Every structure is written in structure tokens, then in C-alpha cells.
Structure 1
């Protein structure tokens, strides 16, 4: 088995800290493959604490024909697109067929797509950080749909200060504020997370939490809370967050304490950065 490990605390320009290989019997092709895999994996992330990759190929001579039994990746404290924090990500591929001549050129080119089982772990803190990212904020600010502007005197509506709490049994609680022309209205809801079509996170059975809202604001808060729930329900689609050459699909999700765990698979069309 070939192994490489990479540890860093900087940006992706500093990500490749080094790799380890078996002490004996490591030929040029194995060393080259280790190097190219490490360079490819780094393109997935803006930043990382550690990424470990192990490649299984027995006998190793199969590399010359471009045949790899599988490879595994385990990463910790990863950042995707500078704003999306991932506590852990791992995947293990099926058999992989590569064009070995591409390795000699510093790239890995797949002869055909391959699949991998995958798991992603997010923290409550990381999810809340994502709500402050530009990609998410632009979907929550200055919303001018007829349903909302009819309630705000024709002015756009914004949702700010979003704070999500993970609860048992795949439930979540969200607190936020609605910015209206005549002031700020607090909103709060609980909902159950579910997966639709293996790629969309659905916020099901939203319930308004009136206890945390002043009595005089509960009427408008209830309406805005349910409108916010509908926006969330149409916002989290994995196709918007695909990694380079890797399409993620979810089979199940569950809350585990202050983490949200996704299990599914990845379709790898090409290695990152190899187009």
C-alpha cells in the first residue's frame, strides 16, 4: 500500500507538507504517483489541517498498466471555497483505471469515472460560519419576491444574524432577524432535516417558536418565520457546492451531538485540477 500524508495550517499554496512512502521497494512510478495525487488533492480545499491518502495496488506492477485497486482519503479541518468549514471528510474509491502516461506529465487522468463511498462531518460552528459567507448571504439579503414585499410595503426583505443549533433526531433550531422598513423582527423555528433526491437538504415540518418572540411581534414574526423556512428549503443543493471533478450525493444524514454527519457517495469524473 502506498501512503502519503499532508499537514498544513495555511492556504492551499502551502498545503503540501510532505509525503511518506514504504521504506523499501518504492520505484519511480510509485513515487511519481504519490506526488501527483498529493498535488491533485490539494486543489479540493482552500485550507486544511491534514489530508491523508492511501493507495492500494497489489502487485505494484499493475501501476504500469494504470490499474489501482482503490485509494482512500481522510481529511480534517478542511475549508472549501474559503468559507465552508468541514470537520472531517473521507472517501474510498472503487477500482481506478488511470492513464499512467499522464502521471509522468504531472497529472492523473482517469480512463473512466469512478465512484467512492463518502462521509462528511460538519460542526454547528462551521454551519453557522457558512451563513455568513457571501454565497449564502446573497440569497438572504434584499429579497423582493411578491410574497415578501406584500408584507413589507413593497420593500425588499433581508434575513440576518442567523444562528442554527443542532438537536437530536436530525432536528435543528434556528434564530434569526428579519429586516423590515419599519424595524427588525426576531424569528425562530424548529425543523427536521431530510434528504431529497440525494442532493438537496430539506427543512421539513417547520414550527414557529413563539415563546422567544415578544407578544406584540408574534403575528408578523410567524409569517416571516415560515417564509424563511421556505427559502431555506430551496437553498441547500449540493450541486452548488460541487468540488472540482467530484459530485457528492447523500444517502442519509443525522445529528450527532454538535455535529451533522452525511453519508453517501462521490462520483469522480476527473481528478481535481486535471479537467
Structure 2
């Protein structure tokens, strides 16, 4: 076994130790997702004898069609580390453990359809329905207010359009339409700023309350997306920038990896 790890190559020229580590890493990472279309891992270690000391040159992962925590769809995700120190004995036992924390360059791509699907997730719904915020209940005569049928359309230059219905708990539904800027704030929050309320398609007798409720929804969204709420155990995501590109929202940043999590 150790002869293979330190130099034996298969007919295709792939080092056995790297292949074993790729297999272990792929199995470990797949368990982080509820579903995945594909997860590929590439480990580089030269000379391969360094693997015996747990030292590898780089670690790269790419995945497509991923689902995190049952409800959050990711079209593509990739990350790549520099040199990493791992527990070699753990690899032989089928586990991937880091000897010390590391960082990885990361990119995450969300689709417009996946974003809209996320608005049906329980984690999101509980921040949008049966709200009893004073500013809202004054409008509804003390009844809880719910924002439903939220739909997002990605626009150029990091803007998006949001349409929704506000249920005042009285049976009256108020249509909401607006566009907003989205940006990265403090490397961990997604901010929703500069809302432009669109009232052309709102009945005249509902326009004033639609304006107020649209701004209230924008404020709720601005306080909703904090990456610390979605961190995997032992992994923190930090963002440098985001960009809308057609029907895709592209995030780039890095991951602070303290340890490899065992499950999402």
C-alpha cells in the first residue's frame, strides 16, 4: 500500500495516493449536500511522498446541481485551496481531517429559479409570514401581516425586481412591485438597497399602502441574508463581490475552513 502511495502510478499516469485522497474527499463532500448532480475533487501532491506527512499542494472541488439543507439550490459551487496539511491516518480510514485551518478561494452561482425556490423554504418563510411588527400591524388593524408569492427577477448591474402579495389578515391582498440594488456588505451580508416602488399595475385605492408595504418588505429582506446563518459546521463563507449575469447571480469570495464538516 505505502509503495503505491509513494510512487506507484496506474497506466493513465495518475498517482494511487492522489486517487485515494480524491475518492475520500469526494465522498466526504457529497455528504454536505442534500442532493448533488456532480461533485468532483482534484488533489495535487508532488512529489507524492509528501502525502505520508499529510502535506498536499492544492485541493480543488467543483460541484453542479447542489441542494443545501433540503431547500437551497446552488447551480454551481467551486473552491480551491493552496497548500493544505491533512491527517494521513484519517485518509487511510476513509476520513478527511485537517491538521490546521485553511482558506479557499470560492465561487457560488445561483440561478433565478433556485432563488425563487428558496423563498418557499421554512427558514425564509418564518421571516415573511405572520409578522407582528408594530409598523405593519398598524396598517392591518392589529392583525399579523404575511408576504407571499414572492418572485425575483434578476436584472443587469446588480439589480433585481421583486413582486409579491401582502396579506393583511383581513382577506385583502395588496400587490407589491419594486426593484432594488443588491450588494455585499461586511463580506457576509447581502444588502437590499435603494428600493424603487412600481405602482403602475396597483389599483389606485391600494397604491399608498402598497408603497408602505413594499418599503417594509425591502427592509425585511435587507436584514435577512446573513451568511453566518447558513454556515456549515467548521466552515465560514466570506464574499468579496457579487454580479448579476442573465438569469444567474454569481458570488465570489473565500471560505475559512477550520475543519471538514461531516454533514450539512
**Structures share fold, TM-score greater than 0.5:** yes
> Within 1, Cα distance between the matches of 2:48 and 2:142?
68
How do 1:146-157 residues align onto structure 2 when only pairs under 5 Å count? 146-157=134-145
TM-score by length of 1: 0.88
Aligned counterpart, 2:108: 120
Task: Please point out which of 139, 142, 146 is paired with 2:130.
Answer: 142
How far the C-alpha of 1:55 sits from its partner, in A, is 0.4
How do 1:57-206 residues align onto structure 2 when only pairs under 5 Å count? 57-182=45-170, 183-206=172-195
TM-score by length of 2: 0.92
> Number of paired residues?
255
Instruction: State which drifts further: 22-31 or 240-249.
Output: 22-31
How far the C-alpha of 1:213 sits from its partner, in A, is 1.1
How far the C-alpha of 1:86 sits from its partner, in A, is 0.7
Indicate if the aligned counterparts of 2:18 and 2:43 stay in contact, CA closer than 8 A: no
CA RMSD of aligned residues (A): 1.7
How far the C-alpha of 1:52 sits from its partner, in A, is 1.1
> Within 2, Cα distance between the matches of 1:211 and 1:24?
64
Indicate if the aligned counterparts of 1:131 and 1:137 stay in contact, CA closer than 8 A: yes
> Within 2, Cα distance between the matches of 1:123 and 1:24?
37
Q: 1:23 to 1:34 in 2, by over 3 A?
A: farther
How far the C-alpha of 1:105 sits from its partner, in A, is 2.4
Gaps of 5+ in 2: 1-8
Instruction: State which drifts further: 128-137 or 98-107.
Output: 98-107
Task: Please point out which of 217, 229, 233 is paired with 1:228.
Answer: 217
Indicate if the aligned counterparts of 1:107 and 1:274 stay in contact, CA closer than 8 A: no
1:265 aligns with 2:245: no
- Which secondary structure state, in structure 1, belongs to the residue aligned with residue 131 of structure 2? coil
How far the C-alpha of 1:272 sits from its partner, in A, is 2.5
Gaps of 5+ in 1: 1-20
How far the C-alpha of 1:23 sits from its partner, in A, is 3.5
> Within 2, Cα distance between the matches of 1:22 and 1:156?
65
Aligned counterpart, 2:5: none
- Listed one character per residue, the Cα deviations across residues 1-50 of structure 1 (whole Å, up to 9, x for unaligned) are xxxxxxxxxxxxxxxxxxxx954566664444233212211122111111
